[in-house]
């Protein structure tokens, strides 16, 4: 009978710890204002307006030659320059205003 009680106590403790960690994780998530979570219901209207820039010159199939490598290299340098020119570690760089997201 004692082994059975120990097992039940163990299961109860595991459940308490699990729910405690889940609650702590949810609190941390909401404390961060979930600024980058576009799956949040408040961004439902915004998700429809997202324009994914399609790169017509770089295709997933085809030959990899010097011309292709130079094209990819130029594009990578362009994006790297754009990233380095902004203050990417500033909290405002992912704000709704900076990202062009208007939620009401």
More confident residue, 20 or 54: 20
In order of 10, 20, 45, 81, 92, the CA distances from 6 in angstroms are: 6, 21, 52, 61, 52
Structural domain contains residue 96: yes
Token duo for residue 32: 């961060």
Give domain status of residue 97, yes or no: yes
Split at pLDDT 50, 70, 90, the class of 69 is confident
- Pull the structure tokens for residue 41: 């219901």
Give pLDDT tens digits for 34-50: 556 666 666 677 667 66
Positive or negative, the CA dihedral 38, 44, 50, 52 is positive
In this structure, are residues 40 and 34 in contact, taking their beta carbons and an 8 Å threshold? yes
Residue 8 lies in a domain: no
Asked if the structure places residue 2 within a domain, the reply is no
**pLDDT of 59 higher than 60:** yes
Summary mean pLDDT of the chain: 76
Q: State residue 98's pLDDT score.
A: 65
pLDDT for res 18: 97
Q: Is the pTM of this model over 0.75?
A: no
Under DSSP, the state recorded for 104 is -
Residue 89 covered by a domain: yes
100 has pLDDT over 60: yes
In a domain, 6, yes or no: no
Residue 29 lies in a domain: no
In a domain, 24, yes or no: no
- Stretch 64-69: mean pLDDT: 86
* Domain enclosing residue 63, as ranges: 54-104
| Structural domains counted in the chain | 1
């Amino acid at each position: 009978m004692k082994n059975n009680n120990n097992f039940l106590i163990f299961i109860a403790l595991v459940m308490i710890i699990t729910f405690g960690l889940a609650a702590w994780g949810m609190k941390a998530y909401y404390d961060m204002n979930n600024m980058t979570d576009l799956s949040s219901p408040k961004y439902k209207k915004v998700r429809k307006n997202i324009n994914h820039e399609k790169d017509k010159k770089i295709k997933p199939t085809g030959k990899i030659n010097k011309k292709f490598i130079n094209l990819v290299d130029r594009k990578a340098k362009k994006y790297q320059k754009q990233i380095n020119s902004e203050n990417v570690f500033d909290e405002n760089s992912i704000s709704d205003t900076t990202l062009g997201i208007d939620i009401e």
